[in-house]
Amino acid sequence: MSEILGKFQADSYAFLAVAPAQNWIGGEWREASTGERAEVINPRYGRAMSSTPMSAAADVDAAVSAAAAAWVEWRAWPMRERAHVFYRLRDLMNAERESLAWLVSHENGKVYAQALAEVDKAIECVEFGCSLPNMAGGPQLEVSRGVHCQLVHEPLGVVAGVTPFNFPLMVPLWMIPQAIVSGNCFVLKASERVPLSTIRLAELFEQAGLPKGVFNLVHGGKASVEALCDHPQIRALAFVGSTPVAKLVYGRAAAAGKAALCLGGAKNHLIVVPDADLELTAENVVASFTGCSGQRCMAAANLVAVGDVDDIIAAIAERAAKLVPGSDHGAITSAAAAERIRGYIDAAEQSGAKVLVDGRQKRGEEAGGYWLGATVLDGVPADSPAAREEIFGPVLSIIRVPTLEAAIAFENASPYGNASSIYTTSGHIAREVMGRVEAGMCGVNIGVPVPREPFGFGGWNDSKFGHGDITGWDGFRFWTRPRKITTKWALQKDWTWMS
């Protein structure tokens, strides 16, 4: 058994250095051809806990070659036997649930409870992969006398994914189960900030009995992503990250003839009306904008306050002010990100917004980490950067509007379309908002309306480039292509145009 990381030994936030990351290609650990490496920083301390290879096109080509070689046999496995690997992976992940959560916490910076929630969601994604053999049977119908049509889903071959820093274990497993169970071989490029969770995933895949070359891991930065986009043997590519990069990746991959599905950024809106339940709304909104320190594409960004909801806003501010960085939410991913977020808060204050809760000087206990506390900004001008741009931190911008119509208009003016929620006790208002907002994932009294399997994850507008969703049944269809088979076995006495 080949392991460079093994079961993560941490059981607390105490700093722990681990072995350098390597590429996993054809069932072997390899250094990058460039010899270049980048530090992997524990954001809680601002210290390097490992390092990762910065691969080039030659490394991507080696991974694709290994995947192509493995595909010859892997595609011949019955789907149910492919899924059995994921049953075993699920058992292994459950057995290491806590250690995987500590690994996510250390390399990403989120608190243990939120890292554990990520691991649980990742396991749920694996479980969906296990279920695919029971869902993937295509329809068959006698369409004419003695003539039958059947639909089957065929794998594409070698496919690839590029994933972000904020969910180092979950987001890769948005892609991998559907792609591999459907018969493809996979090349993953995880964020160079968080390579370690996917290192452990590769080790667990080997323990689960996945054949060599079916899953490959190539670390690196821009050069690796461009090589994946350009490689002629990669048939499909999925990406999750910021909108500017998603646009570039989608355009480059599509120009190379690949199926491409690229999820971008977000500016999610929570609309609050006066009849909203105070306790439910306050607790839910705070959890939404501070969970994972706001570093998730489903986090609340804007609270659109309709009319007089001052009592609800006061309750939100009271709860947010009590949160402690390092205990209630984690560190910011990097020093540059923390500084950028503070810049948005400063600019909003200078433009006339009132800082109800100021987290700019709040820190966790560990020295050297990248910290920012929960921040609530009231009266944010509708045309300001804090109201329009993705901040990606624990900052809630409150925009005041007089009517529900104005709230919907403000929401729909955003170029993004990831998520939107309404807080109300009125079924009529809920239906009105759900039917009119420009967002692919919507919630009623839910601040993080993440669809659970089998419902797919995906936004609209500038939050997604490509067709379909990345998880659920749409994810399976993205990694496959439909084959229609029409058969006839006997001469019929009556003739039709199909005879």
> Is the CB of residue 470 less than 8 Å from the CB of residue 477?
no
Spatial distance between the Cα atoms of 273 and 270, rounded to a whole number of angstroms: 10
CA atoms within 13 A on the CB side of 374: 27
Residue with token string 């997604």: 464
Spatial distance between the Cα atoms of 171 and 177, rounded to a whole number of angstroms: 11
**What is the reported pTM?**
0.95
pLDDT confidence of residue 138:
83
Instruction: Identify which of 163, 186, 191 has the alpha carbon closest to the alpha carbon of residue 52.
Output: 191
Spatial distance between the Cα atoms of 464 and 474, rounded to a whole number of angstroms: 14
What CATH number does the domain located at 23-264+463-483 have? 3.40.605.10
pLDDT confidence of residue 179:
98
Please list the active-site residues: 297
pLDDT confidence of residue 497:
65
pLDDT confidence of residue 34:
97
pLDDT confidence of residue 498:
61
pLDDT confidence of residue 365:
86
Assign residue 298 a region (left: φ > 0; alpha: ψ between -120 and 50; beta: otherwise): alpha
pLDDT confidence of residue 492:
73
- Mean pLDDT, contiguous 10-residue spans, the chain (499 residues): 88 96 98 97 98 98 98 97 98 98 98 98 97 90 89 96 98 98 98 98 98 98 98 98 97 98 97 98 97 96 97 98 97 96 97 97 90 98 96 98 98 96 97 96 96 92 95 94 93 67
Domain boundary assignment for the chain? 23-264+463-483, 268-444
Please state, rounded to an integer, the average pLDDT across all residues of the chain.
96
pLDDT confidence of residue 495:
66
| Alpha helix positions (H), 351-464 | 385-388, 404-413, 427-434
H-helix or E-strand spanning residue 208 = helix 196-208
> Is the CB of residue 19 less than 8 Å from the CB of residue 5?
yes
What superfamily does domain 268-444 belong to in CATH?
Answer: Aldehyde Dehydrogenase; Chain A, domain 2 (3.40.309.10)
Residues across the chain:
499
Structure confidence by residue, pLDDT tens digits, 232-262: 999 999 999 999 999 999 999 999 999 999 9
pLDDT confidence of residue 50:
98
Phi, psi of 195 (to 5 degrees): -85, -15
Spatial distance between the Cα atoms of 107 and 109, rounded to a whole number of angstroms: 6
